[in-house]
Amino acid sequence: MGGKIKTLSEPKIVKLESFKVMGAACETTMVEKDVKIPRLMEEFHTKQVINIENRLNAPVSYGVFIDPENWNPDTETFTWIAAVEVDGHDNLPSGMVSRTFDEHDYAALDYDPAEHSFDPYPFLHKWINENGYVQIEGYGFERYEPYTGANTKFTLHLPVKRMAAKD
């Protein structure tokens, strides 16, 4: 079997406890993302991550996207953060950012660029809508164990809540 497979795993709902991340960020558009994000990820993982003193759960790392309110993907920028989990926001290296994500339910999908031939983002959005959930706008993340370059396997997490029952 030499061809790519469509899907290896079914999306699932997972509850994650609150966690904190610290890392390097860039602003990008959907048009520029395929150039800017890999450049940021490579720079962060090869040169900047060593400056983070309070890292937890190595070698896990994250690629976090944060969309502005009422974001228009055709015209507006969003933020991408190459990050690692930390025990607090103290000791923030110069030029880096930090964020806290509260406990939440997430739709999660394992994705391997070497094996899969679909775009995981619209695939997971569709699955959320077809399975009684609604995505909570504003952010999501890829979780790497570890990040090894542009073709790293990851788990995509999108925050969700159950749709209200229709009467």
pLDDT in tens, 20-41: 999 999 999 999 999 999 999 9
pLDDT of residue 7: 52
Q: What is the CATH number of the domain that holds 40?
A: 3.20.80.10
Most confident of 105-109, 112-116, 148-152, 162-166: 105-109
pLDDT of residue 2: 45
List Cβ neighbours of 72 (8 Å cut-off, separation of 6 or more): none
Three-state DSSP class for 119? coil
Tell me what percent of the residues of the chain surpass a pLDDT of 70: 93
Residue 137 DSSP symbol: T
pLDDT of residue 153: 96
156 occurs within a structural domain: yes
5 occurs within a structural domain: no
Mean pLDDT of the chain: 92
d(CA 10, CA 139): 21
The boundaries of the domain holding residue 64 are 12-162
Domain count, the chain: 1
pLDDT of residue 55: 97
* 83 close to 23: Cβ distance less than 8 angstroms: yes
Q: Does the pLDDT value for residue 75 go beyond 90?
A: yes
6 occurs within a structural domain: no
49-66 per-position pLDDT tens digit: 999 999 999 999 999 999
139-151 per-position pLDDT tens digit: 999 999 999 998 9
Q: Does the pLDDT value for residue 1 go beyond 90?
A: no
